C-alpha cells in the first residue's frame, strides 16, 4: 500500500513540473521565452503552446498584440531530456 501511494505521488510530481525563463528582452523590441516541462506524455508542441500563451498574456498586459518571430521545440527523450521550446516574439 505504501509503495503504491509513493509511486502515485512520484508520477504526479514528475508529470506536472514546468520551468520557464519568463519574458527576457532581446533588444529591438523583441523578447524570448524558454520553457521546459517534465512528463512522459509532454511534447515540444505542447510546451511551445504554453510559451505562446505566456507571451500573449505579457503583450496583453502592455495593451499590445503578440507577433511570433521564431520558434524552436524538442520533444522529451525518456530518462534523458525534458520537452523544450523557445519562442521569440514582439509586442506591437
Q: In the prediction, which pLDDT does 13 show?
A: 46
Burial of 88 (0-12, 13-18, 19+ CB in 10 A): middle
Residue ranges making up the domain that contains 75: 2-91
Q: In the prediction, which pLDDT does 59 show?
A: 97
The H or E element containing residue 18 is strand 18-20
- List all residues 6 or more positions away from 47 whose beta carbon is below 8 Å from its beta carbon: 18, 35, 36, 37, 73, 83, 84, 85
Residues 41, 22, 47, CA angle at the centre, nearest 5°?
Answer: 20
Q: In the prediction, which pLDDT does 8 show?
A: 44
Number of residues written out for the chain: 92
Q: In the prediction, which pLDDT does 40 show?
A: 82
Q: How many domains does the chain have?
A: 1
pLDDT tens by residue, 1-60: 554 545 444 444 444 577 888 999 999 889 999 999 988 889 999 999 999 999 999 999
Q: Where do the H-state alpha helices sit in the chain?
A: 2-15, 44-61
Mean pLDDT, residues 56-79: 96
Which among 37, 19, 21, 23 has a CA at the least distance from the CA of 89?
23
Amino acid at each position: 500500500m505504501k509503495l503504491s501511494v509513493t509511486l502515485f505521488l512520484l508520477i504526479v510530481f514528475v508529470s506536472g513540473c514546468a520551468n520557464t525563463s519568463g519574458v527576457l528582452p532581446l533588444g529591438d523590441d523583441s523578447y524570448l521565452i524558454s520553457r521546459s516541462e517534465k512528463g512522459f506524455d509532454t511534447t515540444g508542441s505542447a510546451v511551445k503552446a504554453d510559451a505562446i500563451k505566456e507571451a500573449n498574456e505579457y503583450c496583453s498586459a502592455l495593451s499590445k498584440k503578440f507577433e511570433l518571430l521564431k520558434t524552436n521545440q524538442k520533444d522529451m527523450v525518456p530518462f534523458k531530456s525534458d520537452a523544450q521550446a523557445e519562442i521569440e516574439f514582439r509586442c506591437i
